[in-house]
Structure 1
């Protein structure tokens, strides 16, 4: 049951709060941002008339805020707040008051904030920044960063085996009488030829039996059943391309570079030049950065931003993204993929003579004809293909590595730049582009801040749902920190 608001009583011990310095960070945060919105945000997740009186949502939210601000665990933030005057003052308790149990923080994050659309938390702080005149530019900068999963990657057989064991144990813990009715876990050796298929069949059978025997399942059992079903239905599991953790089935492999990979999630961010995060999209580690552009743009606008310019890296330079920006009259300060400029990999020694409109090979022979490949209607991915005399290629002393024996043709292609790229190519050469693109690295500093000081280097919880909560709350915290700094810079010097 949710009470109507704070019910604090005066305390003689509150005099101790006068010892907190007025320039303490938490004093500045309390003055900079209004956290009272949280009561309205989560009220629908509480029962109005029944149940025990719930702890004040703003109290729990402030505890979660402190937890992320100082990168502490649920248990540690309760311990620290109990003995830290500044922490206890910030959450709104008297010095002698007791704190809620640490388990309530998890319940509040998942069942109150999570159930109430945690993205609204970010929306409220962005709106407060706009209302206070802290955001003046109409530019957003986009980038993605990664977070390591809270579990280890596994082989397909281990994924199936662990998922089956976890489901089996949960069932017999909740319903001991069902143990003899459930199919026994098969003994499968790792070197067995059909080991993975046997475990896959068993997990599917076990899941069906449990659902039939316990149709009203809930809580931990529902969660284990959901994971089992997700694993069984993953067509890429056995090829080692899909789920690779029975504990965290949402986590995936991603790539930081051509040689470095990670296992976990991605956070795609949009941020103003004032370093206020306006949008967050959380995906698995394998997601494409550029495909999150429409969501980041839409979310930033929903959060109150007026956008006339987007600064981002090459990953966001796809034709669909450029087309959307052009339609909405947004200037894309986004470098195109080098392949657009160069037309892809060029075979060494071949030269295109623009005036004669033919290609000369390393042996000095020129092409005999040309053709255009690609869709005329779309005008995309079209190429000029130049053909050489195959008979000459067969007898050419430089044919090794150039002409494949018995090939019916020898060609050389030059990509035709699509119309939607021409304008952007021209803009990339301008001084304006060169100046504005230098602003992009500031979002990398924001990513580093979230990882280094606020725990975004590794997931604290498991699953995409909880990862979204962690990302949005962390973005909220760093935005509030930035609000304090911007308000300090805005105040005239005394």
Structure 2
């Protein structure tokens, strides 16, 4: 049951915050910069107002998730720190003497209240409104790119994941006392039974938690807390042999990853205006129309796009021209083909610099020809990309794509240079070259998300989990950026 109105905490100790939490503290600034009551309104429909036990205010739970992002903490550790850190309590709108929540509430909050796929851009829209109110956005340029996030489960079985985390706990224990080896719970046999592994992990967690002397070993407790989370989550996140929604994507021809892509549109001021989460194999260029549409829905109009060669597909060039949008994206000869076959799922992968089939497999060879009968303007080429038939024979999507018994599988593209002649002239102008220099900003933003806010590896499983991680992370990162811009403005 959720109260129909937000109730503010009152305490005779409230003045302690003025003495302890400095006015320039990051959490005080994040607390004051925006009215978080919108979280209550957005999530009211997920609660009952007259049935069940009284619920913890969703604003508080959402702020706990923000703290997890800012300080890269587990559920258990963010709650533990909130018990003693006055800056945390101030940010959470708690009274100094107020008790913290049970960490399990955060898990339930994520799974039961934050499943709306629109949440990500609803939060980004709030930060765009705030940036406009502070007069921080100066134009309508959208810098676009995608960043990949590896699956938390990395194509491993639930049993393997649990055993690997249990091994990390045991290593920390051995560093404390080598003689503990004979006292620890017996490792499960190689039967492959998940239930046996779960029981073993629960016993190992219990062993650590019973010993008072271990409570001050920070690294041990952090690894124990992660093992406990993994074990508790097994019925949802670990019951499959791998993350169902994650897919193999390519960072280059030789380097791949298993996970997700978050397609991002950012302002030149480095505020994320729009984001769209997909599985890892999705083509970047195909997301451009959605990024523009959602950006405008979020309150950030677009009259210029800056991106890498992935966005210079013929369809995107034509769309930009029809909608009076300047597209700054250097042509890649292979992805600007006139290609009817692309409709059945063959797409150019700009990272690997070759084509991939609907099943996500890359071509292994390319042959270039120039048949005169197909060259309307005398300059047409045909490129043929060949695929590994051994993979085709095993592919679940082979029906209608690969003919049983065939020794080869190829995909041909007709190239017509006159189609892009106008754009080729445009990309040689000084204006194009100067505007293209802005693209580095989004690469720096991607690096910040990964290295400072845990975006390199998914914190949960599935597209729902990845969207939630993106939502909280990007909302928090945007607020931090707005604070920095305001400080620079006042300096």
Per the TM superposition, whether the score is higher than 0.5 is yes
**Per the alignment, in what secondary structure is the counterpart of residue 6 of structure 2?**
coil
**CA distances 1:402-458 after superposition (whole Å, capped 9, x unpaired):** xxxxxxxxxxx9943143x22211111000011110100110110111111111011
CA separation of 1:126/1:341 partners in 2, compared to 1, >3 Å: closer, same or farther? closer
Q: Distance in 2 between matches of 1:166 and 1:450?
A: 34
Correspondences of 1:297-446 after superposition (within 5 Å): 297-339=292-334, 371-373=372-374, 382-383=380-381, 415-419=415-419, 421-446=420-445
Q: Distance in 2 between matches of 1:223 and 1:71?
A: 23
Q: Match of 2:480?
A: 481
**CA distances 1:34-69 after superposition (whole Å, capped 9, x unpaired):** 212101100000111111111111111111111111
Q: Match of 2:387?
A: none
Q: Distance in 1 between matches of 2:307 and 2:33?
A: 30
CA separation of 1:17/1:441 partners in 2, compared to 1, >3 Å: closer, same or farther? same
- C-alpha displacement of 1:281: 1.1
Contact 1:371 1:384 in 2 (8 A): no
Q: Distance in 1 between matches of 2:84 and 2:468?
A: 28
Q: Match of 1:25?
A: 26
**CA distances 1:379-406 after superposition (whole Å, capped 9, x unpaired):** 9x95499xxxxxxxxxxxxxxxxxxxxx
Q: Match of 2:132?
A: 130
1:143 to 133, 142, 145: 145
Q: Distance in 2 between matches of 1:261 and 1:370?
A: 35
Q: Which runs of 5+ in 2 are unaligned?
A: 161-191, 199-232, 339-369, 384-412
TM-score under structure 1 length normalisation: 0.67
**Per the alignment, in what secondary structure is the counterpart of residue 114 of structure 2?**
helix
Q: Match of 2:360?
A: none
1:272 to 251, 267, 270: 267
- The size of the alignment, in residue pairs, is 364
CA separation of 1:30/1:427 partners in 2, compared to 1, >3 Å: closer, same or farther? same
Contact 1:372 1:382 in 2 (8 A): no
**Per the alignment, in what secondary structure is the counterpart of residue 447 of structure 2?**
helix
2:279 to 273, 284, 297: 284
Q: Distance in 2 between matches of 1:341 and 1:124?
A: 36
TM-score under structure 2 length normalisation: 0.68
Q: Match of 1:447?
A: 446
Contact 1:81 1:88 in 2 (8 A): yes
Q: Match of 2:85?
A: 84
Q: Distance in 1 between matches of 2:337 and 2:93?
A: 61
**Per the alignment, in what secondary structure is the counterpart of residue 65 of structure 2?**
helix
CA separation of 1:341/1:320 partners in 2, compared to 1, >3 Å: closer, same or farther? closer
**CA distances 1:114-163 after superposition (whole Å, capped 9, x unpaired):** 247312122222222223322111100001111111113259xx9xxxxx
Q: Match of 2:465?
A: 466
Q: Match of 1:2?
A: 2
Q: Match of 1:68?
A: 69
Q: Distance in 2 between matches of 1:255 and 1:136?
A: 35
CA separation of 1:342/1:10 partners in 2, compared to 1, >3 Å: closer, same or farther? closer
Q: Match of 1:39?
A: 40
Contact 1:32 1:487 in 2 (8 A): no
**CA distances 1:450-477 after superposition (whole Å, capped 9, x unpaired):** 1111110111111111011101211111
Q: Match of 1:456?
A: 455
Q: Distance in 1 between matches of 2:106 and 2:382?
A: 62
- C-alpha displacement of 1:338: 4.1
Contact 2:155 2:243 in 1 (8 A): no
- C-alpha displacement of 1:372: 3.5
**Per the alignment, in what secondary structure is the counterpart of residue 441 of structure 1?**
helix
Q: Distance in 1 between matches of 2:9 and 2:107?
A: 27
- C-alpha displacement of 1:271: 0.3
Contact 1:279 1:300 in 2 (8 A): yes
Q: Distance in 1 between matches of 2:280 and 2:456?
A: 13
CA separation of 1:222/1:117 partners in 2, compared to 1, >3 Å: closer, same or farther? farther
CA separation of 1:11/1:340 partners in 2, compared to 1, >3 Å: closer, same or farther? closer
Q: Distance in 1 between matches of 2:194 and 2:433?
A: 55
Q: Distance in 2 between matches of 1:336 and 1:427?
A: 10
Q: Which runs of 5+ in 1 are unaligned?
A: 159-163, 171-219, 229-244, 344-368, 386-412
Q: Distance in 1 between matches of 2:90 and 2:2?
A: 22
CA separation of 1:107/1:414 partners in 2, compared to 1, >3 Å: closer, same or farther? closer
CA separation of 1:342/1:9 partners in 2, compared to 1, >3 Å: closer, same or farther? closer
**CA distances 1:64-101 after superposition (whole Å, capped 9, x unpaired):** 11111111111111011111001101100011101111
